[in-house]
Structure formats: structure tokens, C-alpha cells
Amino acid sequence: MNTFRQHLREMFDKPFRLVKTTPDKNWQKPGTMTYEYKGAEGGPLEINFTNQGDSVYVDFDVGGSIAVRGEGDAARVFASVMDAFGRFLKKNQPDYFEFSANKEDWDSVNMENRPTSRARVYAAMIKRFAPKYGYELSASNERKRVMIFIVGKKGLVDQYPPAFSE
């Protein structure tokens, strides 16, 4: 019988099906590489890696929306994000990644902002998966509505931390 912890690990091992990779022709210059997955409720899942020179900004959306959807497939969405990271890192080894997490989402039913646990989820995923690829959390910057994370290669973290994007 699986423990709850084993069950959680297994959920992150089942990404959606990768259907398309769209590399930017100028990837080594500022540009974007996109991985598209099919199977998420709400539309295609797109994971974007945008080269900003000294770092790569990572974002993802389902059906064009970055909002928390509450449709029960969050673990598979995150499994797909981690799958895209693995694929990306087989060909590219940037010094830094940058993420941001909204601490609030718009609740269209109650017509108000509601707090999310997204920043805590991102921090936990970075802590768990970054070392597997030779990275570690370099810095985090908490703002009123957004948490920004910088993940850098081990050994570079203290040498050249990138500036936070505005």
C-alpha cells in the first residue's frame, strides 16, 4: 500500500502528453522556447522559457490563463512543467532561471481577489527539483502581490546574482 508521500511523488511523475516544441530561431539571443502539452482541463498547457541574456524567465499557462483553475489536475500540470524543464535542460544550461508567483488570483464568482498558495508551492518545487539539475534557490523577493524567485547554478549563486526584473 502506498503512503501519502509516495502517492504525491507518483502524481508528479505523470505529465500530460507533449505535442509540440516551438524553439525561437534566435534562441541564443533574447527569444522564447515553448513546450505545449495536451490533456489539461481548460485547454493546452504552454510552458515558455524566455532568454533574457543573463537569466531565463519561465512562465506557463493553461488555455491562455495563468489563473488557478481548481479543476483537479494541478499535479499533472506541475509534472508537465518539470518535464519541460528536463527537456529544456538537456540542451540548455542557463546560469539562472527566474519565476514569479501571484499571491492573489481574481475570483470571478465572488468578484474579488483571493489569496493563493502558489508562492509556497513554487518554493517547495524549487527546493525538491532544482538540486536534481544542479541548481539551487539563489534569491526570493516578496512584493505585495507577487513573489519572485531566482534559481541559479550551484556555485554561481553567490558570485553573480542577477538583478530582479521589474
Give strand pairing partners of 50: 32, 57
**Mean per-residue pLDDT for 11-26?**
80
Q: What is the mean pLDDT of the chain?
A: 79
**30-35: Cβ within 8 A, 24+ apart:** 33/88, 33/92, 35/83, 35/84, 35/87, 35/88
Asked whether the predicted pLDDT for residue 48 surpasses 90, the reply is yes
Asked whether the predicted pLDDT for residue 145 surpasses 60, the reply is yes
Predicted structure pTM score = 0.79
Strands (E), the chain: 17-22, 32-38, 45-51, 56-62, 96-102, 104-107, 112-115, 135-142, 146-153
In 92-154, which residue ranges form alpha helices assigned H by DSSP?
A: 118-129
Q: Are 149 and 140 in contact (CB under 8 A)?
A: yes
What's the pLDDT score for residue 116? 67
- Where residue 139 falls among pLDDT bands split at 50, 70, 90? confident
> In this predicted model, which residue has the larger pLDDT, 135 or 147?
135
**Mean per-residue pLDDT for 86-104?**
85
Asked whether the predicted pLDDT for residue 166 surpasses 60, the reply is no
What's the pLDDT score for residue 103? 73
Q: Which residues contact 166 (CB under 8 A, 6 or more apart)?
A: none
Which CA distances in Å does 121 have to 45, 66, 155, 156?
Answer: 18, 15, 25, 24
Asked whether the predicted pLDDT for residue 24 surpasses 80, the reply is no
